[in-house]
A = this chain, B = another copy of it.
Amino acid sequence: MPPTIYDIADHADVSTATVSRVLNDESKVAPDTRDRVMKAAQSLGYQPHASAQNLARNRTDTIAVVVPLLANYFYMGVLRGIQNALAPKSYDLLVHAPSHPDAVEEQVRRAAQRGRSDGVLLLSAPLHEDIANSLDESSQPVVLVDTRHPDYESIYVDNHRGGYKATCHLLEAGYQRIGHITSGTPEPDPAAERRRGYEEALDEVGHPRASSLVARGSQEPFAFAKDGGYTAMKRLLQRDPPPDAVFAASDMQAIGALQAASELGVRVPEEVALLGFDDIDVSAHVGLSTLRQPLRDYGELAVEKLTARIQEPDRPVSSTVFDPELVVRDTCGTQTGET
């Protein structure tokens, strides 16, 4: 049996209250008592029992995050931000990643269970009523990232503006037939908003919005995945006439598109320009032009908001919207300087 504070109390000939005081606060304990306790703890190799502390303190110093997908560049970026912000605050991170998309709800419930963590971060969580309700009941502090909901702190990017910016950039570069690769069906909100931004930009300059210029990815393994971009691009390039530029709803899809083009012997950006969305880590490696989302900042900001709310549960709900920033690299054919 590992030693408890009772053992320490015995050895140091004090009460458990005193032991606890020595181990935790600075509060009034006589120096030599403190010494005796510390020595006893040391010699017994004492380690506090986390569960017991959590229960007694009604606090876990842990925050939970629900990630739809581990091993995804997008979430990896956010997670890194979270981790960075968490470490100095000495919170631990409980990661809930559903093994299957349908399991999201269960994971949210689990993450929000009382006594498990002090607050919950939800990444890209589609907030069905069900989920919203069980969140409400658990009355845990919650911060949403890459989604929004009027009742919760939210952090997200202006997707519409991103789509618009992307398309404008391509238009300004003189491209005439600008295609778009969107997500699989059902189209998640962010994808729909990006598409609308794209459409609006075209409308504004009076470009035709041929449906033959829009292709849809698949839902597997997830809505913004590479495979979808790959097949969508193949379809687009085989149309007659093919687009001379393509705006993809995500970088992963753009990377799939890149591969499709390469297989068809279509050069990028000479024969077809390509623009992604997200600026995930690998985009820099492959020279993909894109609209940047500050993923790390999402994570850091989310932690700030969450910890603030943990300390002050009634603070007003605030949302933060980021403006996606155009990052010009090799694939959009408008590069002026260096990589």
Contacts and interface: CB of A to CB of B under 8 A. Distances in A.
Interface stretch (A54-62, A198-206, A301-309): A54-62
A115 B52 contact: yes
Given A76-B70, A94-B93, A99-B84, A51 B55 contact: yes
Contacts of A80: 70-71
A47 interface: yes
A103 B90 CA distance: 12
Interface size class of A (residues with CB under 8 A): 35 or more
A94 B285 contact: no
Contacts of A137: 45, 47
Contacts of A71: 76-77, 79-80, 83, 281
A268 to B, nearest CB: 14
Interface in A249-292: 255, 259, 281-282, 285-286
Interface of A: 2, 45, 47-55, 58, 60, 62, 70-71, 76-77, 79-80, 83-84, 87-88, 92-99, 103, 110, 113-116, 137-139, 255, 259, 281-282, 285-286
Given A50-B113, A71-B83, A87-B98, 13 more contacts: A47-B137, A48-B113, A48-B115, A49-B115, A51-B51, A51-B54, A51-B60, A51-B116, A53-B115, A70-B80, A83-B99, A87-B97, A93-B94
